[in-house]
Structure formats: structure tokens, C-alpha cells
Amino acid sequence: MRAVFAVLILCFISSCQPKGNDKTYFGGKIINPQSNFIILCQQDHVLDTIPLDNHGHFHYNFDLESPSLFTFKHDFEFQTFYAEPFDSITLRLNTKEFDESLVFGGNKAHENNFLIENYLLNQKNSNLIMSYYKIAPTDFESITDSIKHARQEKLEYLEKNFEISASYKNLAEKSIDFEYYDMRERYAFLLKKFFPKKASKISATFFDYRKKLDFNDLEVLDLIGYQRFLDNYLKNKSIEICHEKNALNCNDLGSITNLDVRIKLVDSLITNRFIRKRYLERFIQEEVVFARTKKQLEHTKNHLSKFDLSENEKFNIELLAEFQESFLVNYNLGDVKIKSSTFKTLALKDIVNHDHCIIYSWSVHSPSHHKFRLKKIKELQKSYPNIQLIGLNIDYNHPKEWLNALGKHDANIGNEYQIVPEEHAMFYRNYLNKILFIDNDCTIKKSETIISDVEFDKHLKDFVGL
């Protein structure tokens, strides 16, 4: 099917693209568009906003001096593509299955389809890791070696049958490598956390790839696989450093101790401004969001001056810290204003009617998180019928999209509400994965748990006293 789409795109570009183009061309079609434009980016730079016509088509010509990886964004979804000077890059996708339906055409069709197919396979591997981590280290090494070898064989086939450039081959090889590294980092994390005795059998060469890592390689900054690997690498290194210091609760990724270490690792390892800023800001924000006391919040604010953040970024983190004070344990949320699906303004205390209540926030503009949340909430509804589950949508500027999402996913509208715009409303996005446990008086009893935590059910049972 993807091959058929590629042929259609080739026909489309041959009829629509100007002949003798001396620029790089990017065009295609978005089916079921969610807005009337896409955004083209290169690393941290927005190159342009490209309009869609009434049929979802777009056309764009731009100057390109050297091979590069680009990111295009539509609504809150995004994906990458590779281009060289004077290339003709086209794509076709359906927003209902953004990644799965994406197919490339043009003279880099084979190269870009190879990257997107690898990306989709990597997504599947992410799910398989949850079962892989239970097997012996030697067996896992064999599995990951086989996956890497299969990818390399596909790349060799591409090289033999099509004219691919040395630049592209180098990028594709790095893409394969970082997926391989990432699987090992995630496996090691889960094994050390749940099967520490088995983890002691990890071979001395398991992490050999770490010796040759370049954390400032500009070519890979936009690779999703690289970004995911870096996140998991920093996670593991922070735990290893924690153990070396004989500290307690080393696997608690939300602790201020662990996040402090990750912040220092970024500060010492990464010099590239784009990737450095992304991770510094993110970990500092997480340190605020997972703070459990005012003292911890003060700690974070006090060391802001150590890092090269702008004054505006520092100011926003200080505002976030003020907001977080409202979510500390024993604080009361009863007067928090929310809207019902009929747009009636209520206070949280008006709707809480159970001894145990869970509040989770979500956004229609974070599709992957939204899908995971829906699955988890449905499981909780069946397993814990005596717990009140309250969904809090943060898209206060898009009420119609919120209602459409509720209808599309057959949600229980009686348990779904939307935040009311106020001074700190923009900070709710930092809490998308966080869960608040409150009692029937709307007093917070637990607030440092995330819904994707593999020990979430344990936290829940502690909350209800099971």
C-alpha cells in the first residue's frame, strides 16, 4: 500500500512542480488536515509556515546549501525528513494515522521511506521492551544484535539498488545505531530496577558503545531515536552515579537528587545550545513539578543562575514554582475552577463525591499520551469502581476540539472537565503525565506519581489502603 501511495505522489509532483527548479522543493498532501498550514523547521529554527490549499495540498521552494534533516509540524504532530540541495521531496499522510500513513515521494523517496519505516519499527520495539526486560542479558543482547543486523541489511539493499549519497548513508547508520543503543539503555533500566540480581549478569561489554558517543553531533540532533536515547542514557547515568554515592531511592526519577544529577550531566556533556537548552529547561521544570516541599522549590530556584538560560526562561520557571505550591501534599484544591461539558463553571469541591479521587490532565494535542491515558483510565474504571476518576482537559482555547475528542473516544462526559483560563493556565501542560490523589475534601494526599509509572498500581493501592 505504501508503494502505491509513493507512485501516486510521483505522479502528483511531476504535474505540479515547476520544471527546471533551481531550489529544493517540498510539497505534498495532508488528508483530514487539522489546521490550514504546516511548519517547516531545521533544528531549533522555524524556516517557514507553509499554507495548505482547500484540498490539503502544499508547495514550497527553498534554498539549501548542504544535506540536512528537517522537521515538519502539523497541528501538534511532527515527523522528520532528509533532503539534499535541489531535491524534490513530497509526502502524503492522513492525520487520523499520522505516522502510519506517511509515505514519501520524489527523488529521496527510498531514503525517507526507509527512515519512517525504521521509526515505526522502533515504536513497536518500544512496546516489546516491556516483555524483553524479563529475559536474561545474553538473550537480550542476541535479540538487539539481530534487530540491528536486519536494519543494516535493509540499508545495504538500499545502497546496492539505488543511488544513495554518503551523507545519507552516514545518517541512516547513525539512526540504526541510536535505536540499538536506546533498546539497551531501556532494558538495563528495567532490569536493574526490577531484577537487580539478574542485572549483575550484564556483560562488561554491554555498554561499549558509550565510549564512542558524541553528544554534540549536529547531524543527529533532530533524529527522534537520538533524542529518546539521550533521555534514557541520562536516566541510567544518573542512577549509576547515585549508587556510586550509596544514596537512597536511586530509581526514583522524580526525586530532586536524581534530577539534580541529570541537570549536571547535561551541563557537563552537552555544548550544543539547541539540545542543551531543551534538556536543561526540561529537567529543571520536572524538578519543580515533582517537588514535594517548599524547601525543594527554593532549592531549584536558587540554582537557576548556574545555567545559561535566558531571563525570560528563568522567570517562567519561577512562576511555575509558584504554581506548583498549589499541588503540594496537604494543600486543598476545592476552590479550583473548572468547566463542565455544557460549559458551566464549577469548583472542584462541587463534583468530588468519593472518599478517594484521582485527577489526571490531558490534551487533544498530545495524541500519543492521550491514547495511552485512555487505555489506562478504562483499566482503572474496571479494577477500581469505588475510585472517582476526573479528567481535566487543558485545551481551554479549543473547547470544540475537546468535545469532539470526548465524542470520538466515547468518554464518560460526567467525569470530564476543562480548566478555566487564569493566570497560570499555561503551566498545566507541564502536568500532562502527573496524577493527583485527593480525598473527599479535595485535599491532596499524593502528587508525585505519573500515570506511565510501571509501579502506578502499587501507588494506587497504597492510596486506597489495599
Whether residue 356 has pLDDT greater than 50: yes
Within 10 angstroms of residue 120's Cβ, the number of other Cβ atoms is 12
Q: What cell does 129 get?
A: 521492551
pLDDT digits (tens, 9 = 90+) for 208-221: 999 999 998 888 88
Gap between the Cα atoms of 226 and 43, Å rounded: 13
Q: Are residues 365 and 288 part of one domain? A: no
The domain that contains 44 carries what CATH number?
Answer: 2.60.40
Average pLDDT of the segment spanning 362-371: 75
The residue with cell 539534499 is 84
Q: Are residues 240 and 150 part of one domain? A: yes
Average pLDDT of the segment spanning 12-21: 48
Gap between the Cα atoms of 257 and 455, Å rounded: 20
Whether residue 8 has pLDDT greater than 70: no
Q: Are residues 129 and 93 part of one domain? A: no
Q: Are residues 385 and 242 part of one domain? A: no
**How many domains, the chain?**
3
Q: Are residues 213 and 98 part of one domain? A: no
Q: Are residues 349 and 269 part of one domain? A: no
The residue with cell 539534580 is 260
Which is higher by pLDDT, 310 or 51? Answer: 51
pLDDT digits (tens, 9 = 90+) for 70-90: 999 998 789 999 999 999 999
Which of 75, 107, 139 is the last residue before a domain boundary?
Answer: 107
Which of 107, 138, 164 is the last residue before a domain boundary?
Answer: 107
Q: Are residues 233 and 97 part of one domain? A: no
Q: Are residues 311 and 340 part of one domain? A: no
Q: Is 163 helix (H, G, I), strand (E, B) or coil?
A: coil
Within 10 angstroms of residue 290's Cβ, the number of other Cβ atoms is 21
- Spatial strand order in the sheet of 434-439: 345-347, 337-339, 416-419, 388-393, 356-362, 434-439, 444-450
Indicate the pLDDT class of residue 350, thresholds 50, 70 and 90: very high
Phi, psi at residue 438, to the nearest 5°? -130, 160
Give me the long-range contacts of 381-385 (CB less than 8 A, separation at least 24): 381/412, 384/460, 384/464
Torsion 361-324-448-276 (CA) sign = positive
Average pLDDT of the segment spanning 291-298: 92
Q: Are residues 437 and 340 part of one domain? A: yes
Q: Are residues 273 and 137 part of one domain? A: yes
The region of weakest confidence among 12-21, 136-145, 193-202 is 12-21
The domain that contains 460 carries what CATH number?
Answer: 3.40.30.10
Contact 290/260 with Cβ under 8 angstroms?
Answer: no
Q: Are residues 233 and 147 part of one domain? A: yes
Whether residue 19 has pLDDT greater than 80: no
Domain, as residue range, for 19? 2-107
Which of 323, 353, 385 is the last residue before a domain boundary?
Answer: 323
Indicate the pLDDT class of residue 148, thresholds 50, 70 and 90: very high
Q: Are residues 446 and 339 part of one domain? A: yes
Indicate the pLDDT class of residue 436, thresholds 50, 70 and 90: very high
